[in-house]
Amino acid sequence: KDYLEEIDKRIQTYDKIRNNEDKLIEQIGVKTKSKNPYLFDKYGKDLSSICERDRRHTMRFLATAMLFNETDKLRHKLLWQSIIMRAFKDENPSNLTYQMMGEVMNEQFNDEEMKLIKPGVQLVQTMLS
């Protein structure tokens, strides 16, 4: 489909992500912690709030890329995140977190919406795992 043919659905999907952001972020966190309750504990500190902030930024980047159909811009935004993640050796928490993001998105969005979201989710999973 042409971008202009999909624009209404893209706007609706973007609005759905934006309006449900807190719920989505919380569900990702719950699913991630259910798999590994100590995943965000590092050096005796609970880094959950930092990881939640990163999930929120990533979700916003993903939603914007979907809205404008620009995965290349998403790739550039994720590049700095992937460099920082690797510098702090956070591949395991990141891998599980963004795997759970994909699961939550599949649960909360219909097939038509997922068709628009999936390229961004896959890019996030590839770059941040």
What's the pLDDT at 8?
A: 97
Listed as own residue / partner, the contacts of 71-78 with beta carbons closer than 8 Å and 24 or more positions apart are 71/119, 71/120, 71/123, 74/120, 74/123, 74/124, 75/123, 75/127, 78/123, 78/124, 78/127, 78/128
Q: Determine, yes or no, domain membership for 46.
A: no
Q: What is the count of structural domains for the chain? A: 1
Q: Determine, yes or no, domain membership for 103.
A: yes
Domain of 82, in residue numbers: 3-29+51-127
User: What pTM did the predictor assign?
Assistant: 0.90
Q: Determine, yes or no, domain membership for 37.
A: no
What's the pLDDT at 111?
A: 98
Q: Determine, yes or no, domain membership for 44.
A: no
What's the pLDDT at 44?
A: 83
Q: Determine, yes or no, domain membership for 120.
A: yes
Q: Determine, yes or no, domain membership for 35.
A: no
Q: Determine, yes or no, domain membership for 39.
A: no
Q: Determine, yes or no, domain membership for 43.
A: no
What are φ and ψ of residue 46, in 5° steps? -90, 110
pLDDT, tens digit, 9 for 90 and up, residues 33-67? 999 988 888 888 888 888 899 999 999 999 999 99
